[in-house]
Amino acid sequence: MTDTHQRATDALSIQLYSLRAELGEHRAQTLERLAGLGLARVEPYDILSDPAQLAHELTSAGLVAPTAHVKLLDAPLDDAMSAARTVGVETLIVPWAEPALFQDRAGVASLAERLNAATGRAADAGMRVGYHNHEFEFSARIDGTSAWEVLVDLLDERVVLQLDTYWASVGGADVFELLPRLSSRITAVHVNDEKPEADDPPTLGVPVVGRMPEVTALARDIGALVVVEVVVDGDSWPAIERNTQFFAEALS
């Protein structure tokens, strides 16, 4: 592996939900196979079930998990931080909040309050809290502004942002404007180079499909971790392998 390729894969991760079926009975082997693709980082979506075993399997595969999706709005924060400490997770990212919260300022404020409280406690433990968007945070409007922007304004600046670039664009965002403007707060981006599903909603913002090299370059420029998430029917490995190679080359 060349030094350039190694630097590229150091900036690349994969959301393990992409391989959720394979992880059920063959997690250790799946992690080994991901490491065989040159990956050094992964993003778990469940660190609470068996953190000690997950930590062991990650170490055995030579992988680390600097970020993880954790349902902090549903799980006790102390349990989540304990699991994160065991697995080696530094940033706990809330993957979902109820869309109804984004219908008015009061709902967004209540979410921000909970995230801010969690981030204060996590900071005391040397960890960070983050938030991962879908499309509805951007498509919902509050006084003419996207609910996502309202949320960002209300969040403690220590709450980091994981920008799902496709869903942000579907919801109405201009990812090419957001990434540089919020470069100090966006610490990770979710990407894939797959064609949209037939039942995906229409894109209301600036499309990112077909422009992933540009998105990746912007993410690299701001120092964000590039996290691949591929959700396909059937065998996921061909898409995982292709996307890993695509984004490693884009980061080179």
**Pick from 110, 148, 156, 153: which is nearest to 132 by CA?**
148
**Residue-level pLDDT at 97:** 98
Tokens of 205: 């913002």
Predicted confidence (pLDDT) per residue in 176-234, tens digit: 999 999 999 999 999 999 999 889 999 999 999 999 999 999 999 999 999 999 988 88
**Residues written for the chain:** 252
Predicted confidence (pLDDT) per residue in 110-139, tens digit: 999 999 999 999 999 999 999 999 999 999
User: Can you tell me the distance from the alpha carbon of 4 to that of 237, in angstroms, rounded to the nearest whole number?
Assistant: 24
pLDDT confidence bin for 2, thresholds 50/70/90: low
Q: How many CB atoms lie within 10 A of CB 26?
A: 13
pTM of the shown model:
0.95
Distances (CA, A) of 192 to 8, 13, 104, 157, 208: 16, 12, 31, 27, 10
What does the CA dihedral 95, 98, 104, 110 come to, rounded to 10 degrees?
-70
Q: Residue ranges per domain, the chain? A: 3-251
Which residues neighbour 165 within 8 Å (Cβ) at sequence distance 6 or greater?
A: 175, 189, 190, 191, 208, 215
CB 252 within 8 A of CB 39: no
User: Can you tell me the distance from the alpha carbon of 61 to that of 19, in angstroms, rounded to the nearest whole number?
Assistant: 16
**Residue-level pLDDT at 1:** 54
φ, ψ for residue 134, nearest 5 deg: -120, -160
pLDDT confidence bin for 3, thresholds 50/70/90: low
Q: How many CB atoms lie within 10 A of CB 152?
A: 21
Please give the CATH topology (third level) of the domain spanning 3-251. TIM Barrel (3.20.20)
Tokens of 213: 């090299």
**Residue-level pLDDT at 234:** 87
Tokens of 85: 């400490």
Predicted confidence (pLDDT) per residue in 32-70, tens digit: 999 999 999 999 999 999 999 999 999 999 999 999 999
Q: Which amino acid is at 230?
A: V
User: Can you tell me the distance from the alpha carbon of 68 to that of 98, in angstroms, rounded to the nearest whole number?
Assistant: 19
For range 239-252, the mean pLDDT: 96
Which residues neighbour 1 within 8 Å (Cβ) at sequence distance 6 or greater?
A: 9, 38
